[in-house]
Structure 1
Amino acid sequence: MEVKNKVVEILAEQAVLEPSDVKMEMSLEDLGIDSLGLVESIFAIEEAFDISVPFNANDPQESDFDISSVARIVEGVEKLVAEQHP
């Protein structure tokens, strides 16, 4: 399963958009995903890839997981998959 496609699918579902409408440079705000939606997306990503995301829901800025854009989220997930499932 390609990480990028699955992450885009999860974020699109959360944003109630078609995956084709999700662009790599978009932020979660662009997608209309709020903090609760983000937490739900993180849970879905963890479940889909069997990984643990170092995400601080109370203070996303303090997190090691970059959520500034779709591309950054994909990069972060790819890195976690490589680390947690070598």
Structure 2
Amino acid sequence: MEVRDRVIEIIAEQALMEPGDVKPEMTLDDLGIDSLGLVESIFAIEEAFDINVPFNANDPADSEFDISSVNSMIRAVEGLVREQSHA
């Protein structure tokens, strides 16, 4: 499964939506994902890809992990997966 599909699947699960209903341009607010849901999504992403997401739950705006949209999260995870495979 591609990174994109798995990230969408994880986000859809948190949003209680079907993966096909999650669009790349959607924000977490659009999806109704609150801060707890975001943290759970981050944990699920870390587990699914065996990566460490640089995310500060206390100050999300200060994190290196871009959560501004589904697409930005996909790109961030793809980058982390690439870094991990070259480590």
Question: TM-score, with normalisation over the residues of structure 1?
Answer: 0.98
Q: In 2, distance between residues paired with 1:60 and 1:40?
A: 14
Percent identity among equivalent residues?
Answer: 71
TM (norm. structure 2) is 0.97
**Deviations 1:14-37 (Å, cap 9, x if unpaired)?**
000000100000000100000000
Quote the residue 2:44 is aligned against. Answer: 44
Q: Distance in 2 between matches of 1:34 and 1:17?
A: 14
In 2, Cα distance between equivalents of 1:85 and 1:28: 28
Alignment correspondent of 2:75: 75
Task: Give structure 1 stretches of 5+ with no counterpart.
Answer: none
Shift of 1:2: 0.2
- Alpha-carbon RMSD across the aligned residues, in angstroms, is 0.5
Matches within 5 A, 1:4-83: 4-83=4-83
| Equivalent AA in structure 2 for residue 67 of structure 1 | I
Q: How many residue pairs get matched?
A: 86
Counterpart amino acid of residue 12 in structure 1: A
Structure 2: tracts of 5 or more residues without a match:
none
SS where residue 17 of structure 1 aligns?
Answer: coil
Deviation at 1:84, TM superposition (A): 1.1
**Structure 1 residue 69 displacement after superposition:** 0.1
Runs of 4+ in 1 over 3 A off after TM superposition: none
